[in-house]
């Protein structure tokens, strides 16, 4: 097994863990945590392919990962703001109880 395959396996495992968290947890904040883990696993793939790819001096994968980190930060801010507002409105962050679109 090459080093790249090791990194890819770790990233796949982390992605699956994040997906399992996002799909099985009831707390909306924990679902966001799972989504963050998935985004980070994708970043690890990008960096690993950049490192072992043919033209690392072009910085393509690194730039992709940096922009992905920025977008993930924006996503976390908006998502957690939404969770706080939902909690203020419905007095719960339990996703099994938040089942109405209408306020």
Which 69-88 positions form the footprint of another protein (CB under 8 A)? 69-78, 80-85, 87-88
Asked if 90 touches another protein (CB under 8 A), the answer is no
Which residues fall within 8 angstroms of residue 9, CB to CB, at 6 or more apart? none
- The site map against another protein for 4-33 (x = CB under 8 A) is xxxxxxx-xxxxxxxxxxxxxxxx-xx-xx
Which 8-state DSSP code applies to residue 102?
-
Residue 37: φ, ψ to 5°: -65, -40
Residue appearing with tokens 């992905």 = 68
Closest separation in Å from C-beta 100 to another protein: 17
Q: Which residues pair with 27 in a beta bridge?
A: 94
Closest separation in Å from C-beta 13 to another protein: 6
Closest separation in Å from C-beta 20 to another protein: 4
């Amino acid at each position: 097994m090459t080093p790249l395959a090791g990194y890819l396996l770790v990233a796949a495992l982390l992605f699956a863990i994040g997906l399992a968290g996002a799909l099985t947890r009831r707390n909306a904040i924990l679902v966001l945590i799972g989504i963050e883990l998935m985004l980070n696993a994708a970043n690890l793939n990008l960096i690993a392919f950049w490192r072992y790819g043919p033209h690392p001096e072009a910085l393509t994968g690194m730039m992709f990962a940096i922009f992905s980190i920025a977008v993930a930060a924006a996503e976390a801010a908006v998502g957690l703001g939404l969770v706080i507002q939902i909690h203020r409105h419905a007095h719960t962050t339990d996703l099994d109880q938040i089942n109405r679109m209408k306020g």
